[in-house]
Amino acid sequence: MKKTLYIVATKENKDGKKWACVIGLPSCYNLISAFTENTITANVCDTKKEAYDLMEFWNECFKKNGTLAY
């Protein structure tokens, strides 16, 4: 089954720190159940390269402004 790639940014409850990750979900998956209440944003990506490039960019931005969780 083909998966759609999503780049997801999440905020941690305890300290407001953020992080981004890539997840692949089948097209029949319920998106609301896939993302937590801490999800800030979720974007669809056309390619694996695009997804990972965007994830690295977001995490670098979080790192530069001091909000990266991990």
Angstrom distances, CA of residue 40 to CA of 1, 2, 28, 43: 27, 25, 22, 10
pTM: 0.84
Query: Is 8 domain-assigned?
Result: yes
The confidence score (pLDDT) of residue 34 equals 85
Angstrom distances, CA of residue 18 to CA of 4, 45, 47: 23, 20, 23
As a whole number of angstroms, the distance between CA 26 and CA 14 comes to: 31
Query: Is 39 domain-assigned?
Result: yes
Query: Is 52 domain-assigned?
Result: yes
Range of the structural domain that residue 33 is part of: 3-64
Weakest mean pLDDT among 13-17, 25-29, 37-41, 56-60: 13-17
Which phi and psi (to 5°) does residue 55 adopt?
-60, -45
Strand order in the sheet with 3-11: 18-26, 3-11, 39-45
* DSSP letter (8 states) at residue 2: -
Query: Is 49 domain-assigned?
Result: yes
Count of the separate structural domains present in the chain: 1
Query: Is 70 domain-assigned?
Result: no
